[in-house]
Structure 1
Amino acid sequence: MRYGFIITIIALLQLFSLGAALSLQWWLQPWIAFMPILPTAIFSVVFVISNGLLLLSVSKLLANSYRWVSGWMLIMHFMILTAVLTSVLYGGYWLIGMFAGDVFSTPEMVGFGLRACALLIFIGLFIYSLYSAYVPVVRKQVININKPMQGQLRIAVASDLHLGRLFGSSAIDRLKRLLIKTKADILLMPGDIMDDNTKAFTTYDMTTNLAELCKSLPYGVYATLGNHDLYGHEKSISNALRDSGVQLLNDELTRLEHQGQPIWLVGRFDNHKRQRVMTTELLAQVNISEPVILLDHRPSDIIEHSALPVDLQVSGHTHNGQIFPANFIVNAINRLGYGYEAIGQGHFVVSSGYGFWGIPFRLGSRSEIWLITLTGTETMPTTSIRQS
């Protein structure tokens, strides 16, 4: 599996390099007449940068090498997308010219205009992707479960924060303001809370911000660990979260009292933890006639869980692909790669995440929190599901 991933990354780097070099060659075409060596130079520079970063990453000579490789791949990806979108614009211009006559301008002016548009598109992709990564949206969902439940419970879900140098104290404070504004009762964080370790969390004293967030909610904050929380720093990450007031559910469960009625929260380790407890073992400790909410970082066990007495499962991990067109891949390999769906006996929500992995860009996905209003048969006699 590991070698397959490495081979895939190497192949993608070469393909992206080819596409980026061809895109750059088109954009610089007017200057090639004056510099015949330019096409060769473009291909050489692009492939040297790609494979040089790859070698530095493999040899671990470059700090945070995965960010550099990811950033360079993103730049090349945006070059390719820019070329595609510019081609679409030219195709539209050509079709209009066929019917209306070529009355717009000379070919030289058309070429200049297309290159100007390409530059604007390239810059626009960066701005929009940054915006999508740092400005979250609130997804609202009303879910009625087929169990008695007094009143309603307003559940906020923020997965995949990846707290680190690029996403830290200000993001936690923004989350707090959103939760207060939406009047959430509780926050669930199903995994990948830290970006691999606690270095930035400690350096920038995020404990204070996270503690204030926990205090702002009537029922507090509950979390499970994701794969990035288990890459060698599980203990320090767990301690940092507990010290901040986060209540961890690592293959554990707890019983809340909501308006005098019990609600069960069950949390699982990510499957990176080989010895994690089976969901059925955890549910054996629960009164399944009462509402049961499961936190499971990956959505990979949704089919199995849909046959169990789980009323609501919240997950993350997929980031909804984070960068287009990976969102299509995510949804192709998962029963539910993103969004909400009622499946079998339960309701399932897979978030694209509040933060991001690697680089602060999202295209085709959005930083988000979910606000789930959970109700039962005592408050709503018939099943009602609404999404906005």
Structure 2
Amino acid sequence: MRILMGIFVLAIYGGITFYLGWNLRTWLLAIQQFRWPIAYWIGLYAISFGYFIGKLHPLLTPFSIVGSYWMFFLQYGLILCVIANLLIAFTPLTTKLVGTWVISVLIVLLIVGTYFAYSPVIRNATIEIDKPGEDMRVVVASDFHLGVLSGKGHLEKFVQLSNEKNPDLVLLPGDIVDDSPKRFINKGMGDVMQQLQATYGVYGVPGNHEYYGNEMKQFREAMEKANVQILMDETILVGERFYLTGREDLTNKNRLPLSKLKPEDNALPWFVMNHTPNDLDEPANLGVDFHVSGHTHKGQMWPNHLITERIFELDYGQRGKNDMHALVSSGFGFWGPPTRIGSRSELWVIDIQFAK
């Protein structure tokens, strides 16, 4: 059944690639620039499967880069090609004019999307927790996907922005690296991460992509050297002030229920990191005070947010549920194409006010 499903998906994907290639070919013919048809189609399909080809060997990494950008053209090219075909079929507009318009729109979207991806913004929120304690500031950033396109320079921006806010605590709720930690290690990103400053330290949890890389041991070791404590179904007492729980990702089918990780002392605040915001009822009913997640990217590229909104109770932003404050970040990085349309790369600065 899996083989049949895989064949079906490949057939659909190949068909969409052909549709986009046929439209591009038609426009190139209209402007008299189409050359070498065999090389054209081989190159197009090599690009369309480039992301997967690039995973086969480090020397093939350039294919991953090209393949990542292809995902952008796949989504918006498909939308625009359908519109273009309708315009050509039902209006006097020519293929040359409409095709030029489509290419121009794609270029503008690519420029804008790249800017939104690589120019992170700071979101601010203030929450109140009805438990005694001294007010504190927490920086939250998820989904860095550190690797080829989200690299050392992007991480340096985060460290600078975070340190400028003088946080008491930094939380990194998952997908810190993009599958494998090798590039994080080889490019010296750990040296950058070590520069993060926080009164009570820097903590993280694995996301689904850490599991996809199947290098969890190497990931944890790299984070430990970078002064990031990874919590995996663990609850710790931090600074005698609050409890912090880090959950395994949903990818791990053996992860513990949150009830098994609940601290015995209910008087102190309880913070929870769970990469995927799959269930807010359980933590709210158990008495969690502050719950942070990522994973959704807020769809990353419009109109994908319409899908994440239907899948998750809270796919983005900050919301109260019972006495719990829940936060879902769109992420500091990105997955696939280094572009964002309808979302921004971001970090959150949360000022927590406790009952005096």
Question: Secondary structure of 1:253's match?
Answer: strand
Name which of 154, 157, 163 aligns with 2:137: 154
1:184 maps to which residue?
167
Matched-pair contact (CA < 8 Å) for 2:51–2:65: no
Alignment-mate amino acid for residue 16 of structure 2: F
Question: Secondary structure of 2:291's match?
Answer: strand
Question: Measured at CA, do residues 219 and 61 of structure 1 come closer, stay the same or move farther in structure 2, by a change above 3 Å?
Answer: closer
Mapped pair 1:204 → 2:204: no
Question: Measured at CA, do residues 344 and 270 of structure 1 come closer, stay the same or move farther in structure 2, by a change above 3 Å?
Answer: same
Structure-1 separation of matches of 2:298 and 2:304: 8
Structure-1 separation of matches of 2:347 and 2:2: 31
Length-normalised TM-score, structure 2: 0.84
Deviation at 1:51, TM superposition (A): 7.9
Name which of 69, 73, 76 aligns with 1:75: 73
Name which of 369, 376, 381 aligns with 2:347: 369
Deviation at 1:18, TM superposition (A): 5.3
2:241 maps to which residue?
262
Matched-pair contact (CA < 8 Å) for 1:227–1:272: yes
Mapped pair 1:227 → 2:205: no
Length-normalised TM-score, structure 1: 0.78
Deviation at 1:312, TM superposition (A): 0.9
Matched-pair contact (CA < 8 Å) for 1:23–1:79: no
Mapped pair 1:313 → 2:296: no
Name which of 237, 241, 249 aligns with 2:219: 237
State which drifts further: 66-75 or 193-202.
66-75
1:104 maps to which residue?
none
- Cα deviation per residue 1:80-110 (whole Å; 9 max; x = unaligned)? 344467799x89xx9xxxxxxxxxxxx78x8
Question: Measured at CA, do residues 73 and 175 of structure 1 come closer, stay the same or move farther in structure 2, by a change above 3 Å?
Answer: closer
Structure-2 separation of matches of 1:366 and 1:82: 23
Deviation at 1:156, TM superposition (A): 0.7
Structure-2 separation of matches of 1:16 and 1:304: 41
Matched-pair contact (CA < 8 Å) for 1:50–1:72: no
Alignment-mate amino acid for residue 210 of structure 1: M
Question: Secondary structure of 1:341's match?
Answer: strand
Structure-1 separation of matches of 2:12 and 2:321: 35
Mapped pair 1:304 → 2:286: no
RMSD of Structure 2 on Structure 1 (CA): 3.5
Question: Measured at CA, do residues 149 and 59 of structure 1 come closer, stay the same or move farther in structure 2, by a change above 3 Å?
Answer: closer
Question: Secondary structure of 2:195's match?
Answer: helix
- Cα deviation per residue 1:30-77 (whole Å; 9 max; x = unaligned)? 44xx79xx7xx69x9569834885499489767456665443232232
Could you tell me which runs of 5 or more consecutive residues in structure 1 were left unpaired when the two chains were aligned.
95-106, 379-388
Could you tell me which runs of 5 or more consecutive residues in structure 2 were left unpaired when the two chains were aligned.
none
Question: Measured at CA, do residues 143 and 6 of structure 1 come closer, stay the same or move farther in structure 2, by a change above 3 Å?
Answer: farther
Structure-2 separation of matches of 1:199 and 1:58: 18
Question: Secondary structure of 1:332's match?
Answer: helix
Deviation at 1:191, TM superposition (A): 1.0
Matched-pair contact (CA < 8 Å) for 1:19–1:76: no
- Cα deviation per residue 1:210-232 (whole Å; 9 max; x = unaligned)? 1112xx22222111111222232
Matched-pair contact (CA < 8 Å) for 2:175–2:206: yes
* Alignment: residue pair count: 350
Question: Secondary structure of 2:175's match?
Answer: coil
Deviation at 1:329, TM superposition (A): 0.8
Structure-2 separation of matches of 1:176 and 1:56: 29
Alignment-mate amino acid for residue 346 of structure 2: E
Matched-pair contact (CA < 8 Å) for 2:147–2:177: yes
1:276 maps to which residue?
255
Mapped pair 1:134 → 2:118: yes
Deviation at 1:238, TM superposition (A): 0.3
Matched-pair contact (CA < 8 Å) for 1:16–1:77: no
Mapped pair 1:288 → 2:266: yes
Deviation at 1:352, TM superposition (A): 1.1
Question: Secondary structure of 2:142's match?
Answer: coil
Structure-1 separation of matches of 2:175 and 2:336: 12
Deviation at 1:136, TM superposition (A): 0.7
Deviation at 1:294, TM superposition (A): 0.3
1:325 maps to which residue?
303
1:173 maps to which residue?
156
Structure-2 separation of matches of 1:70 and 1:300: 27
Question: Measured at CA, do residues 5 and 375 of structure 1 come closer, stay the same or move farther in structure 2, by a change above 3 Å?
Answer: farther
Q: How do residues 9-28 of structure 1 correspond to structure 2 at under 5 angstroms? A: 9-10=9-10, 13-14=13-14, 16-17=16-17, 19-21=19-21, 23-24=23-24, 27-28=27-28
Structure-2 separation of matches of 1:229 and 1:330: 21
